[in-house]
Chains A and B, each alone.
Chain A
Amino acid sequence: MSIGGVLRKRYLILLLIVFAMATLGMGLQGLDQYVMQIMVISRIPRLLTVILVGMSMAIAGLIMQQISRNRFVSPTTAGTVDAAKGGVICTLLFFPGASPLLKMLIVFLFAMAGTFLFMFVLRKIKFKNVIFVPLLGIMFGNIFNSITTFVAYRHDLVQNISAWLMGNFALVTQGRYELLYLSIPLLGIAFFFAHQFTIAGMGEEFAINLGLNYKFVVNVGVGLVALLSALVVVTVGQIPFLGLIVPNIITIFYGDNIKGNLTAAALLGAVLLLGADLLGRVLIAPYEIPVGLTLGTVGSMLFLYLIFRGERT
């Protein structure tokens, strides 16, 4: 079966169910009396976290790609996630005892500022080459990163920060992931604005011609991306690649009309992340490989395959 066939929504749902079962049921032999406890404390939170994070990053990537009008711009290549990490160090330094919600708010403000700064620079530069723009974003992110590292180094927090660097689901347990539920209404807003994002992606003049409030829609988009990224960074850390690969795969098979492909993107994001997480748990069991590593490996290979395969649809 071709990749395009696998990408049909019903197969994605089927894969999601299979992976979800595996996530919940793996390695429970001989633990009969604890099964309920393991489920409630660890397995169900982990499953929900992976699904919500996968959907959030995929949708954030899709929106980002559309409003920046560049296929290679995603929260990880536009400084959003790096700025969010700056927010994490800020909370560690100044608000160590803050509630998760307050932490999330601070990180969100950083992510928002970083993304808007990038969008502002993007509007100013004349040379909008497909490769140049994401490179600029990566440079941008690296500047944030070096500032963060500098501050972390001065305050002996380098280890805490590098723990954020690798997204990891092993630490997700009951009581440490619930903030992620906030992403559900955010994803709802993304669906509501889907049509507007597509029109905004066709350019400011095109949007004005159709009576769309371009600046408002772009701001909503950037706000959503920053919020979703902040939520993910605060709860599980940085998840590389997902926001880049999923929108690109979806575009190849479904086109660029966001309204029609948001569901598929959300499903694919969840399936890919669940798969990568399972792989990380199986490969060197009983130990775990952080999902950032497995996803980076699987994702980059998948992406290379797609590039070399070209757009034969």
Chain B
Amino acid sequence: MIKVVDVVKRYGAVKVVDGVSLTIPKGKITSLIGPNGAGKSTLLSIISRLLARDSGSVYIDGKELAQWGSKDLSRKISILRQSNHIDLKLTIRELVSFGRFPYCQGNLSEEDWGIVDRALEYLQLTEIQDKYLHQLSGGQRQRAYLAMVIAQDTDYVFLDEPLNNLDMQHAVEIMQILRSLVRELGKTVVLVIHDINIASCYSDYIVALQDGQVVGEGCGEEIMEESLLKKIYKLDFCVGQINNQRVCVYYN
């Protein structure tokens, strides 16, 4: 379980994250939604120790972030950001093997390579494992990064806009992978996401942010509510039920 208590982050005079407190349930998919500038990515970066906060606490399995050693933390949480996407000439297999760094400092044992192989297989990358990252399509590349995270084998997986630039087919494919990470491998997944219909259909828990503050949290049905969405996004929403899932239309 992750507990965030009263976290504040300022850029100059602007409070980007303004006293956020929340609890992220273990073994679930949690989505952070909200308009641009709501502080979603900043909050995710703070929880995953990439960014220092000005005040407040973050507890991961009951232990404050500052109390964790960096090596132990890298076996506990992993984070993928859009800006991670690099232009080094590396193969998928090399990238995925980096996921074992927290365990072996670069000298992979046979067991480590076995874990790399299984991660590749899990994301159906075995056949193209020797291709270079820059030769891949967007969906394949995202899967390669996810395979690295699986090889890193952390309880918590944080993803900043993992569906960016993906078409519908690949977006759904990634979400299904995330769901299986939770159901089959027992991971806890936290992601920042813009498509609220996807968030509604795939998340167990949704946190809505606006101007650095939490303005709503709960399961999909609690968040997919016309007045709340209108307040957050300043658009007229029409929420309906299709196949037992709440979806909304906001195009007018």
Binding site for B on A (CB under 8 A): 69, 194-196, 198-199, 201-203, 205-206, 208-213, 251, 255-257, 259
Contacts and interface: CB of A to CB of B under 8 A. Distances in A.
A213 B70 contact: yes
A203 B86 CA distance: 8
Given A205-B79, A211-B71, A211-B74, A251 B84 contact: no
Contacts of B26: none
Nearest to B132: A255
B50 interface: yes
Nearest to B51: A205
Contact of A208 (B49, B75, B80): B49
A255 B75 CA distance: 27
Contacts of A251: 89
B152 interface: yes
Contact of A255 (B89, B106, B107): B89
A209 B90 contact: no
27 contacts: A195-B106, A195-B107, A198-B88, A199-B98, A199-B101, A201-B88, A203-B83, A203-B84, A203-B86, A205-B50, A205-B81, A205-B83, A208-B49, A208-B70, A210-B98, A210-B102, A210-B152, A211-B70, A211-B71, A211-B74, A211-B75, A212-B101, A213-B70, A255-B90, A256-B88, A257-B90, A257-B91
Given A195-B105, A208-B70, A255-B91, 20 more contacts: A196-B106, A198-B88, A201-B86, A201-B88, A202-B84, A203-B86, A205-B50, A208-B50, A209-B48, A210-B74, A210-B99, A210-B101, A210-B152, A211-B70, A211-B71, A211-B101, A212-B101, A257-B91, A257-B94, A259-B106
Contacts of A208: 49-50, 70
Interface of B: 48-50, 70-71, 73-75, 78-81, 83-84, 86, 88-91, 94, 98-99, 101-102, 105-107, 132, 152
Nearest to A195: B106
Contacts of A203: 83-84, 86
A291 to B, nearest CB: 30
B98 to A, nearest CB: 6
Contacts of A257: 90-91, 94
A40 B73 CA distance: 56
Name the 6 nearest CB pairs between A and B, nearest first. Answer: A211-B74, A195-B106, A256-B88, A256-B89, A255-B89, A210-B101
B90 A195 contact: no
Contacts, number: 67
A196 B101 CA distance: 9
Given A195-B101, A211-B101, A205 B90 contact: no
Contacts of B94: 255, 257
Nearest to B86: A202
Contacts of B106: 194-196, 259
Nearest to B76: A211
Contact of B102 (A69, A211, A259): A211
Contacts of A213: 70
A206 B86 contact: yes
B125 to A, nearest CB: 17
A74 B145 CA distance: 29
Contact of B73 (A196, A211, A255, A259): A211
A81 B60 CA distance: 47
A257 B90 CA distance: 6
Contacts of A199: 98, 101
A247 to B, nearest CB: 12
Max count, chain A CB within 10 A of own CB: residue among B48, B74, B152: B74
A212 B84 CA distance: 15
Given A195-B105, A255-B132, A259-B106, A205 B98 contact: no
Nearest to B91: A255
A312 B96 CA distance: 25
A288 to B, nearest CB: 38
Contacts of A256: 88-90
A280 to B, nearest CB: 33
Nearest to B102: A211
B153 to A, nearest CB: 12
Contacts of B73: 211
Given A211-B71, A257-B94, A202 B81 contact: no
Contacts of B71: 211
A205 B70 CA distance: 13
Nearest to A204: B50
B162 to A, nearest CB: 14
A209 B83 CA distance: 13
A201 B98 CA distance: 12
Contacts of A211: 70-71, 73-75, 101-102
Contacts of A196: 106
A218 to B, nearest CB: 15
B68 to A, nearest CB: 10
A201 B84 CA distance: 11
